[in-house]
């Protein structure tokens, strides 16, 4: 499932192609057809990313909502003559010089603005947004008996963090994923928020998850750090810093990774 940096990068890139344009909106697959009719021929005024959600604000006053989930994927055709839809295309957005197809999302709707407001209301702060306030995250974590590893994947606590960032945020702060949230002191919670901000914002800029420092990666300057070397703990066999065998366990229906030495319980 895409993490928050991917959603913000999609919004940034797609906005350059679609915003302020009058769009043809269709549903080649069919299920989205009634929703598409509401905004077909309207101007797309804004694409607003929040956590793992994308909101499309239309000149009609309607708001589109997309959640990619595990299988959702966009395909961009930067041409005025796009090919025939490939596969089960849920939504096709066509501008004068670009077409974007969406396949396999968990959610794809067009509704009244109130539907967006309800979704945003149940989400925690998004660390990528400038001016985001972490108070809700601090309060929920500091009062919870749930593990910090579970809390980081709870979108009502902090929006946009996924499994990779969970492992990396906890690793760089030497926090074991099984520690209860209420056992983390204020300085640790602040460090978690600051680290999440830095990592996710860097992900938007880089267009990928890259959490290791250049010096620790061992990759010479000027060479691209490969994906297999881009993280400290996630999907590694050995800890990048101490060499200990990385531990793995199921947590919140995902595999969590940690170093038993650097992140001792």
Among residues 208, 235, 254, 260, the one annotated as catalytic is 254
Q: How many CB atoms lie within 10 A of CB 40?
A: 17
Q: Is 52 a catalytic site residue? A: yes
Residues 140 and 79 in one domain: no
Measuring CA to CA, which residue among 164, 154, 157 is closest to residue 212? 164
Residues 161 and 113 in one domain: no
Give the whole-number percent of the chain exceeding pLDDT 90: 94
Please state, in angstroms and rounded to a whole number, the distance separating the CA atoms of residues 122 and 139.
15
Q: What is the pLDDT of residue 208?
A: 95
Q: Is the dihedral of CA 82, 83, 86, 89 positive or negative?
A: positive
Would you say residue 129 lies in a domain? no
User: Would the pLDDT of 218 be above 90?
Assistant: no
Q: Is 3 a catalytic site residue? A: yes
Q: Is 112 a catalytic site residue? A: no
Residues 103 and 193 in one domain: no
What are the helix (H) ranges across the chain? 4-18, 33-39, 113-121, 135-142, 148-153, 163-172, 186-206, 214-217
Count of domains forming the chain:
2
Query: Can you read off the two tokens belonging to residue 24?
Result: 């043809």
Among residues 3, 150, 168, 188, the one annotated as catalytic is 3
The CATH number of the domain where 234 resides is what? Answer: 1.10.8.50
Query: Can you read off the two tokens belonging to residue 87?
Result: 């596969």
The CATH number of the domain where 96 resides is what? Answer: 3.20.190.10
Q: What is the pLDDT of residues 34-87, one digit of tens each?
A: 999 999 999 999 999 999 999 999 999 999 999 999 999 999 999 989 999 999
* Domain encompassing residue 47: 4-121
> What number is the average pLDDT over the span 21-46?
97
Q: What is the pLDDT of residue 265?
A: 87
Q: How far is CA 85 from CA 29, 69, 263, in A?
A: 9, 21, 48
Residues 83 and 148 in one domain: no
Q: How many CB atoms lie within 10 A of CB 251?
A: 19
Among residues 9, 52, 92, 116, the one annotated as catalytic is 52
Please state, in angstroms and rounded to a whole number, the distance separating the CA atoms of residues 224 and 207.
13
Q: What is the pLDDT of residues 80-139, one digit of tens each?
A: 899 999 999 999 999 999 999 999 999 999 999 999 999 999 999 999 999 999 999 999
Residues 150 and 212 in one domain: yes
Domain boundary pick from 121, 146, 165: 121
Residues 141 and 111 in one domain: no
Indicate the pTM of the whole model: 0.95
Report angle CA 112, 113, 117 to the nearest 5 degrees: 130
Residues 15 and 75 in one domain: yes
> What number is the average pLDDT over the span 142-161?
98
Residues 152 and 253 in one domain: yes
Which value, in Å, is the radius of gyration of the alpha carbons in the chain? 20
Domain boundary pick from 58, 89, 121: 121
Note whether 128 and 201 are within 8 A (CB). yes
Note whether 199 and 169 are within 8 A (CB). yes
Residues 174 and 254 in one domain: yes
Q: Is 254 a catalytic site residue? A: yes
User: Would the pLDDT of 149 be above 90?
Assistant: yes
- DSSP classification of residue 226: P
Residues 109 and 165 in one domain: no
């Amino acid at each position: 499932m895409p993490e928050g940096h991917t959603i913000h990068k999609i919004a940034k890139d797609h906005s350059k192609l679609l915003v302020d344009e009058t769009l043809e909106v269709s549903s080649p697959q069919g299920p989205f057809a009634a929703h598409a009719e509401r905004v077909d021929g309207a101007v797309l005024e804004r694409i607003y990313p929040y956590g793992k959600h994308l909101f499309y604000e239309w000149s009609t006053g309607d708001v589109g909502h997309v959640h990619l989930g595990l299988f959702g994927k966009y395909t961009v055709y930067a041409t005025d003559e796009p090919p025939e839809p490939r596969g089960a295309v849920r939504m096709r957005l066509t501008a004068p010089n670009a077409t974007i197809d969406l396949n396999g999302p968990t959610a794809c709707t067009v509704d009244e603005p109130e539907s967006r407001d309800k979704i945003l209301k149940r989400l925690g702060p998004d660390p990528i947004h400038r001016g985001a306030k972490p108070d809700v995250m601090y309060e929920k974590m500091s009062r919870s008996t749930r593990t910090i590893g579970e809390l980081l994947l709870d979108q009502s606590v902090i929006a946009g963090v996924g499994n990779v960032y969970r492992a990396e945020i906890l690793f760089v702060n030497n926090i074991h994923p099984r520690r209860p949230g209420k056992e983390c002191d204020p300085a640790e919670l602040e460090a978690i928020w600051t680290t999440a901000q830095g990592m996710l914002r860097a992900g938007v800029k880089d267009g990928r998850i890259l959490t290791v420092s250049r010096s620790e990666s061992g990759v010479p300057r000027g060479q691209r750090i490969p994906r297999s070397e881009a993280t400290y703990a996630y999907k590694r066999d050995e800890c990048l810093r101490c060499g200990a065998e990385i531990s793995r366990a199921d947590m919140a229906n995902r595999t969590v990774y940690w170093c038993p030495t650097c992140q001792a319980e």
